Amino acid sequence: MGQSDAAWALLGTTIRLAQTMGLHTERSTVHWPEQMKMKARNLWSTIVWQDSLLCLCYDRPPIVSVTGWSLASSFFERQDLSFAEVMHLLCRISLDIMGPETLGVVELDRALEGLQRVDDIHQRGLPYLRSRENCITLQQHLEHLALRMHTSFCVSVFCRPAMKQSTPQSFHPHAGILRARAKGSLIDASKAFLDFQALSTVPLRSWSMVHTVLSSTLLLCIWEETRNDPECRNLQQKVIDVFSSSNSRTNDDGASFSENDSQWLSDRHIRALVTLRSALEREQETGATETENWAGMASNVPQFGPGPVGYMDMPDPFDVSPVTYLDSIMNLPMFDYTQENGFL
């Protein structure tokens, strides 16, 4: 489902239960039947997959480890990796990039290393994973598009340091390469989502894919290198159209959204969708200039969802980096700590 907040909380419990069962390490399963060992390995790989994606989405440290299960040396050399195997290696890269041992590395250097490893893994996948022209069955089409979305999201996260404004790293010799890769990944993630949802409802019900497309289109809408690009504007409108439904209604703030959104979208995703929609609607209906458009949108984004999440003042996108602005929308605090509620 699209509830990434619930996924974060429930996954923590799932990980602890899996560790209690000994699924996190091969040593705990040494006396198990071979078939059970394989099931344990696959189950732990799935947990690692979810945790690494959630950590990339929320910019939080992971709590899983992949060191408990050894991989055959041939696994790192094979040229016929399946979808699950490519995703496993992609998650390993994400965990390495987010690990504490890389914190002292210059952000752009770390990004370049991550991109090189991602490109290498992608080239080692099965032909249909590398190119949609090689897809024959529906399953192959779905796996190809899913991998495109996940890979594009990872690339965009790795390249985010290059999207920051007014930083010394902008003079890094490879900053231009990273910015080009960032733009390409944001566009490709949006296109893959649109192609995927035309074949299946999975992208609209998967928190990781919902987060990927909304964060990608928001960055396309915010970032100075893409916000005036007609292709990017067209992609943003198409994404909004997909999320819109025929039985939409209008809330008290005048923002239209599906009656079912609150059931399968997290508050942060509804907020992101409304932010994106507000930007495009203001431009289309009022013909506002770019600065007026963003200034008005930043001060009028409504707050959705029940609970203690308070109103969060939106910064002016022209005063902060696109990544900071994205975080102010997508990474809302679960509690409003500005109020004296005795929680702390």
What does the pLDDT read at residue 295? 47
pLDDT score for 207: 85
Say if residues 139 and 117 touch (Cβ distance below 8 Å): no
Q: Which structure tokens are listed for 274? A: 């409304």
d(CA 149, CA 124): 17
Taking each helix axis as running N to C, give the angle between helix 4-21 and helix 207-222, from 0 to 180 degrees, rounded to the nearest 10. Answer: 130
- Using CB atoms within 10 A of its CB, is residue 92 exposed (0-12), middle (13-18) or buried (19+)? middle
What string of pLDDT tens digits covers the 344 residues of the chain?
Answer: 456 677 888 888 999 999 999 999 888 888 899 999 989 998 999 999 889 888 888 778 888 888 888 877 677 778 899 999 999 889 888 888 776 555 444 577 778 888 999 999 999 999 999 999 999 999 999 999 999 999 999 999 888 888 875 444 555 677 788 889 999 999 999 999 999 999 998 898 888 899 999 999 999 988 888 888 899 999 999 999 998 863 344 344 444 444 444 456 777 888 888 888 888 877 666 555 454 554 444 444 444 333 333 333 444 444 457 777 777 777 665 555 555 555 45
Predicted local distance difference test score (pLDDT) of residue 100: 56
Sequence-distant (≥ 6) Cβ neighbours of residue 157 within 8 angstroms: 56, 94
pLDDT at 291: 47
pLDDT of residue 269: 81
| E strand or H helix at 336 | none
Residue 265 is given by DSSP the state: B
Rounded-to-integer distance, Cα 4 and Cα 60, Å: 13
DSSP-assigned states of every residue in 151-215 = HHHHHHHHTHHHH-SS-GGGGSTTHHHHHHHHHHHHHHHHHHHHHHHTT-SHHHH-HHHHHHHHH
Q: What is the pLDDT of residue 307?
A: 35
* Global pTM value: 0.79
Distances (CA, A) of 230 to 177, 226, 272, 287: 22, 9, 21, 16
